[in-house]
Amino acid sequence: MSYIEALSSVLDEVTGVEPRRDLLKSSSNSLLLSLLEQQPMYGYIIVKELEERSQGYFKFKEGTLYPALHRLEKSGLITGKWRMLPNGRQRRYYYITAKGKAKLAAEKTQWQDFLEAVRLIFEPRLLST
């Protein structure tokens, strides 16, 4: 069982709710900002990258993705720009802003602290007395 699966299982037992949905909701901004920090992307590619990189754990749907992107854009954390494709169609690419990079850096620190605290509970070390 992977670390994420173990955490998910514990949360499910404790809360009685589906943990993936709650974890996805609380982490969606960080996940999106992290992808866009690496390179500009458009919606379909964002969905595919999240699913592929998480080995299928994160599965965004349009009804989840686009409202999240619009919230990030309204907050000034990302910006969207239309690009013309060779076939004449347009596609909206999203870019992380300086404000978004600063927010992501803070969120990464919080996530690392949280994961370390959970790891300390899941994998206790023998304390010397």
What pTM does this model have? 0.77
CATH tag for 27-116 (out of 3.40.640.10, 3.40.470.10, 3.40.50.300, 1.10.10.10) = 1.10.10.10
Domain boundaries, the chain: 27-116
CA distance 129 to 15: 35
**pLDDT, tens digit (0-9, with 9 covering 90-100), for 30-83:** 999 999 999 999 999 999 999 999 998 888 888 889 999 999 999 999 999 999
Per residue in 5-33, pLDDT (tens digit) is 555 555 555 555 555 566 666 789 999 99
